[in-house]
Structure 1
Amino acid sequence: MTSTPGRGLLHLAAAIVRGPAHGTDSGAPADADADVEARVEAARLAERGGLDFVTLDDIVGDPGPDPDPGPDPEAGPDPLTLLSRIASATTRIGLVPAATSTRVESGQHGRPSQARATHAPLTRTGRWIDAATTQDEARNDGPCPPEARPVRVIDATEGHARRTAALYADVALVRVATPVQAAAVRDQLRRTAEESGRDPGALRVFASLLVDLGDGEYAAAPGHGGGGPRQTAQGPRYRGGPVDLAELITTWHANGIVDGFHFTPVEPRRDLERLVNGTVALLQHRGLFRTFYPGSTLREHLDLARPVNRAAAAGN
């Protein structure tokens, strides 16, 4: 696999969301079982495309200070059931459950255990997201050793979350609509990391976009898909075709604006299929994105070094 000269590897991730997302009217699974199967198939599709990881936004670590124990007819499938099914149906892709206001601690086998609050709980826009590691790591018995700690993914869009991301994240997600905004946030995050004594090269910054790929091969309206994302009430939204999206990815990455992209499909099944079979396939054909996983862990996918085992280092 090759990369743009002078740039790191291109990284891609996607959200596996429930039913129709962000106001679409079709494609909702009829029940929880169908929902699970739809999202398992989505994760398998993302893995076939070689994506680094998928985020599972329904799997949260903190139900709030006073959760309602009663049944919720609108609730999705049981989070642990969903995570277990996806983990058993995939082999390499990273699985990243999200926590709304606390850090998710990884328990035995890398599965999320009960979450516990950190000193100052983060808001949803600054949530911690701890990857449960890829399946090869998850199948190890016992707690993860320091050198195999889960990859930390943080939404660093809001200003108050950026210092946290710069100090602790492996991947920072930023919801930005323009390359100028994306470059400014990436520079800020890397500068803060370096000032804190951290290697800025150990932080991957992803642009996080909603994607609406319902307009065929190219954007239906000139200047929208080809012109880049538009800011909406739900966040920056790209509307166009798979080819235009591949051009945007190529340009932003080649210019060093971001290290990768995290996409949330507006219409889950349709847009993920077009992302993987259209956009990603084109990037692979151009030699800009992997056609296979060179390693077996999420750290290897992201080209991140394993953390130093401080206990072992102290004993030397």
Structure 2
Amino acid sequence: MKNFALIGAAGYIAPRHMRAIKDLGHQLSVAYDINDSVGIIDSISPQSDFFTEFERFEEHAYRLQRSPATRLDYVAICSPNYLHHAHIAAGLRLGCDVICEKPLVPTPALVDELTRIEQETGKRVFNILQLRHHEAILRLKEKVTAAPTDKKFDVELTYITSRGKWYLESWKGDPRKSFGVATNIGVHFFDMLHFIFGNLQENRIHLSQETKAAGYLEYERARVRWFLSIDADDLPQEVKGKKPTYRNIDISGEQLEFSEGFTDLHTTSYREILAGRGYGLEDARHCVETVDGIRQASIAADAGDRVHPFVSATEL
């Protein structure tokens, strides 16, 4: 049985980490969040210690490290994006391996810095890249691998996940903390595209706003038009008023259906990490480079097949 600490216990994704730890027979020893709305712990791990001040959490964690019986093995990180680097570094220096949510960090330079801290501490960082474990994604990867090597697939990726007014008032709406909508809701899709279609060759941006972004990515095996949004007004007419989310990935005229199968992907990710098959810093580097490139790019004056159809002419 491994002992875990969790940073960011009040976050949306934290319960999936808590359940993965419990379902795999391990123990959440201590959790931390500046917010105390963490009643979910009662139904998953009521014996866990909990702190709302990082200094008290860290001091408690150091005390746990004194005994082999209580020593922490892993620190799981579900905190806001801009805190990931600092919390990862703290977990490594505590003497623990670290499991972190996406986006790992905002820039390749910070991936390099974490690599140095790994070398200094002898511990490892693992990123939750759960779409790499989804059965539909794995089947598509097999199909692409089996296709002629000179074939490039035409992909149209559309993801609209409606968010209320609270979103822009939270840290997620602050680009200094979330790094923008393309990073916050898109990074796992960009990792998926790299996982399936190979290395990125071109990265162009057609739309970059507070609530939406769009662009063109060309990979070794695919040409991708993408559109991401948290604005309910962008939902297709046939979906409005019925569903708050629209997810569509078209690969050369065929729809990739992966609406189901998400429930246990964090548990699968944890199982793979604990078995020594987790995705580390170098696995995460490509999607970090992609979203960093998106944030740095100027709007491209493209037209035609490179532009996602949800980007209107007035927005180009």
TM-score, normalised via structure 1 length = 0.31
Q: Which has the higher strand share?
A: 2
TM-score, normalised via structure 2 length = 0.31
Q: Which has the larger radius of gyration?
A: 2
